[in-house]
A and B are shown apart, each in its own frame.
Chain A
């Protein structure tokens, strides 16, 4: 939205969410460096290894993107729920449900099916089952006022045991009975050409699915009446209700959309990144997604980049071990970043304070320059940007001199 305010008074810049997130990342990296230094290793070498492990050749880049795929989708799921006032902590369960749907279909659908049709079916089915899983939480909240944090956690475990049972019942690997039978390449989301150009990495169609999902969610949230409704309910459900928006329906829709995104993440993870499902394993990604969403300021674009960043850390950590630095350092960096994102108000205040100081300095410099030119008293806001910049340049040396003298005087006293 463009600002159309005429005569907007001049003021100092405000810290943008991007700057705040980048500061959190920076501080997380600094904390990681300190930790590495404290165990007597070289931090530069450590970060070099992480970058090496994640990005040093096309295969590694492919793997990083492959790993990021599910993080994008889960992050998007959590962010979407956040934006609409809900805390989806059940992405893991929704992911499992989406994954098992894809895996069972991959096992039972004939290999002779046309691939586009097959892909369409598994994508829609996993999304739908994930949506259903999310919808249950939304329904419980809307009808019985069950808090979504409670219901989604419980549904995580419901999904966990259902998947445990269904792997054994429908798709077990006869040789190793604790996991599912590997899915044929043609029935995964892997694509021959992607595998070829990335030298057999885990990159698959899921990545494009995630990018498309980002665009669609951005569009829904920012451009449509559906998004308007959901955000209204998210930011003040009492006002939304008063305005005639059906609050309960919005809650159910939100949870279903969040569930669908997490369900798709399950599909990309179990039928793309990997090709098996293990029994009795709750995917961590459901919780990593919360960090992704927070760091990405819950915006689809932010989520995309923060997921890639987390993907780099997760893929790069493996290479840390070679230098003798424990891989947990990478997890510590992630944790530190989460702390700093959670306390984003402090970071924002820090930047706002700095911007204000520099703004005041510039104002003062302009005043000096103006009075030197005999134009003192002129309204600064009437000047063009270009003029202001020149005046700052003119006045700054004198201001610096003035400050220096003040300082010297103080010391002399």
Chain B
């Protein structure tokens, strides 16, 4: 058996954190090898070392048996290592072909025709189905990812690293990607899959290296290890996938939406004639494929987007045109969809981020003067209560935290503010099972405390796990609202495609 990649005894330190502590990784030729670990466990650091973005403090890297020094991504490319990053690195107004040959144009006048031909060949061979003449901003996220893969193949990479590749994909796109990975492996490519999603590992990987808090825990054979066991190895204790919750004890209505119409960025109606009410003590899930008006709805509710027509009532008071600050003060909490763009000020310390909505209130300030003692006290309280891990406590800039801890920080902030209604948009996007379990429990706790929760998620599992009622959105309209216990994934799936119950029975 030949190891195509061996990383032996890798150690990497960052200020305050040992990201990798004596980790060894061995990947065989032609295998799909998963690296499983929680956010912040050190998976990405390890891969960045392999890809030449970081230098290991200690340890040896061997590629095809030969010891190598990889000091830049170019070195990695030369060794046939390619990486599909979590955030795509594409030029948006260039075509697929232009993006792929970028950096490999050849002479002064580049030959796009023969490049296109080669792209088509590769695309057909691995079943990528890519049209090289399309412009990046016009194609779907799933296809953009395939362009990234093609870019690596075009450069003759035969070791491919996928960093959390499914975080941005729809269920169908995930299936397609899994198939592509199998095709690649069948053609002799070696694949390293970094993920924390167990079903994906189960679906494609042969072996799995499990990392926890920077240390190598185990290397397991995927077929003979159960998902529960792998999850337990990853987080260090047994994990339950089901959310425990009792029957909802609903109270009076907190949020009432009446015939809401909202324009989207293209200035056409993104939310159409939408009505819904949410009561105390229940979680209402909004199911739907990404881009069917969920973002516009949430932005209208939180005050970030103007309402075209219709009304929103909060505890009986109309808030259709209220300012964001007024809504915050009335008790509307919001876990935003994009935690890095909206949710946090990345360069600012955690303590600042925790009071971003309340700094002007007592005790955090008095007569316009900030009280740092109180602000820090409050910050310490949140990081302890919600187990937010960072290198330097509340002084750590939010941007230095791992994704899961960033999300915990946001959730801690929103819940600690004790809202009447909590709008949670994709609250567990890109997080590992440990963090997901934690966040789900917190949301259920809010509901049990008599708060209303509006959950927007593109993952049906999550909707079904948490919601007491499910509202299905399609093309900006409410298709139907049903009790979770009276429905199943199949029925909701059909509604997500826009097919209503009555229409179905006619067919």
Contacts and interface: CB of A to CB of B under 8 A. Distances in A.
Contacts of B344: 236, 239
A11 B368 contact: no
Interface in A119-170: none
B392 A242 contact: no
Given A5-B392, A225-B370, A244-B325, A239 B356 contact: yes
B370 A223 contact: yes
A175 interface: no
A403 interface: no
Contacts of B325: 244-246
B334 A3 contact: no
A8 B392 contact: yes
Contacts of A236: 341, 344-348
Contact of A241 (B16, B324, B349, B351): B324
A232 B368 contact: no
A361 to B, nearest CB: 15
B360 A225 contact: yes
A11 B341 contact: no
Contacts of B372: 1
Contact of A226 (B341, B368, B395): B368
B336 interface: yes
A232 to B, nearest CB: 6
A311 to B, nearest CB: 31
Contact of A1 (B15, B346, B376): B376
A302 B327 CA distance: 40
B413 to A, nearest CB: 10
A409 interface: no
Contacts, number: 89
A359 to B, nearest CB: 11
Contacts of A224: 365, 368-370
A228 interface: yes
B315 interface: no
B306 to A, nearest CB: 13
B16 A8 contact: yes
A264 to B, nearest CB: 22
B218 to A, nearest CB: 26
A243 interface: yes
Nearest to A236: B345
A9 B328 CA distance: 38
A225 B352 CA distance: 11
B127 interface: no
B243 interface: no
A109 B287 CA distance: 71
A232 B323 CA distance: 18
Nearest to B360: A225
A26 interface: no
Contacts of B395: 1, 3, 5
B342 interface: yes
B341 A228 contact: no
Nearest to A352: B15
A362 B4 CA distance: 39
B302 interface: yes
A239 B343 contact: yes
Contacts of A246: 323, 325
B376 A4 contact: yes
B304 interface: yes
Interface of B: 15-16, 302-304, 323-325, 327-328, 334, 336, 341-349, 351-352, 356-357, 359-360, 365, 368-370, 372, 376, 380, 392-395
12 contacts: A1-B395, A225-B360, A226-B368, A235-B348, A238-B342, A239-B344, A240-B356, A241-B324, A242-B304, A242-B334, A242-B343, A246-B325
